[in-house]
């Protein structure tokens, strides 16, 4: 450890910040690789390998919704369907570009009464217990534009089973019926809103705190910031502008640039200029 005897407080502070930046930057560089772009697939959900991967990462104590409970929930949500022959599902995050269930129609849709929000801790896939990330959910209030998928008539129970294995496995979401406002009209659809009773739920985080968790979180599924960047990128491709998400993207990129610059500055500094190094 460096010693700081005779070194001014400002120099010590500058050195400490640079050192922290160097550590985080090193983490970003050395932990990148094939694992950083893990992709959930239909097959990994059905054969159990996705959940096995989570248990291998987070421990055998991790529990998932039992098969019977999942089956009952799927039947219950279908029993509530206003139009059983036309089952739509709303995606606002990863589902927009990687649904992993079969569908016969896809289009943009807007939901009123909910907004996109980073309000669920990720201590495994996109973070660790020591450096958690955040995941998206739907919070009450406002509106949200995303992607709607229509499932083929007669295939709803099968495809929702696949979806439940992914979205509802840990009980952190609750399935709700919403009105999907699409170009051809309004139809009912299933959306996944946050379960506020879940231990992963984190309410009322300010935007700066959210940005910092997104900038530093990383787990076995990759950097947490990539989840944000991919979301904003796919929204733009669809012609959807989400001002809050775009502002977060700018702030997270700025934070990561600051970290990279701090690490580079400290690395390039002459040894004689570093406190306590000889």
Say which CATH number the domain at 139 has. 3.10.490.10
The rounded distance, in Å, linking the Cα atoms of 217 and 252 is: 11
Closest C-alpha among 222, 231, 228, 170 to residue 201 = 170
pLDDT digits (tens, 9 = 90+) for 227-252: 999 999 999 999 999 999 999 999 99
At what angle are helices 156-167 and 49-58 packed, to 10 degrees? Answer: 10
The answer to the question of residue 176 being in a domain is yes
Residue with structure tokens 């509530």? 80
Catalytic annotation, pick one of 139, 167, 249, 266: 167
At what angle are helices 207-216 and 243-268 packed, to 10 degrees? Answer: 50
Catalytic residue at 167? yes
How far is Cα of residue 194 from the mean position of the Cα atoms in its chain?
A: 13
Average pLDDT value for residue range 82-109? 98
The reported pLDDT for the residue numbered 272 is 42
DSSP state of 37: G
Q: Which domain holds residue 266?
A: 1-30+254-278
Tell me, yes or no, whether 136 and 223 share the same domain: yes
The answer to the question of residue 233 being in a domain is yes
Q: How confident is residue 173, by pLDDT bands cut at 50, 70 and 90?
A: very high
The answer to the question of residue 246 being in a domain is no
Count of domains for the chain: 2
pLDDT tops 60 at residue 32: no
Tell me, yes or no, whether 9 and 83 share the same domain: no
pLDDT digits (tens, 9 = 90+) for 107-161: 999 999 999 999 999 998 899 999 999 999 999 999 999 999 999 999 999 999 9
């Amino acid at each position: 450890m460096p010693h700081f005897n005779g070194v001014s407080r400002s120099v010590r502070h500058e050195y400490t910040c640079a050192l922290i930046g160097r550590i985080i930057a090193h983490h970003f560089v050395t932990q990148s690789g094939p694992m950083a772009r893990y992709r959930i697939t239909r097959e990994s959900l059905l054969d159990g390998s996705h959940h096995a991967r989570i248990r291998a990462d987070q421990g055998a104590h991790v529990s998932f919704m039992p098969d019977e409970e999942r089956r009952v929930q799927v039947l219950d949500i279908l029993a509530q369907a206003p139009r059983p022959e036309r089952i739509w599902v709303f995606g606002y995050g990863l589902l927009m570009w990687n649904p992993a269930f079969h569908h016969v129609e896809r289009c943009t849709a807007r939901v009123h009464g909910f907004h996109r929000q980073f309000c669920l801790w990720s201590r495994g896939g996109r973070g660790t217990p020591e450096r958690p990330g955040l995941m998206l959910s739907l919070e009450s209030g406002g509106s949200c534009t995303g992607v709607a998928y229509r499932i083929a008539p007669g295939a709803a129970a099968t495809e929702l089973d696949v979806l439940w294995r992914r979205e509802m496995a840990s009980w952190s979401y609750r399935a709700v019926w919403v009105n999907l406002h699409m170009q051809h009209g309004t139809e009912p659809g299933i959306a996944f809103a946050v379960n506020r009773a879940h231990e992963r739920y984190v309410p009322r985080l300010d935007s700066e705190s959210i940005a910092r968790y997104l900038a530093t979180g990383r787990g076995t599924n990759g950097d947490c910031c990539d989840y944000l960047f991919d979301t904003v990128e796919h929204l733009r491709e669809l012609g959807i502008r989400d001002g809050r998400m775009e502002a977060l993207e700018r702030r997270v990129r700025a934070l990561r640039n600051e970290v990279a610059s701090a690490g580079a500055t400290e690395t390039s500094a002459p040894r004689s200029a570093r406190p306590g190094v000889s």
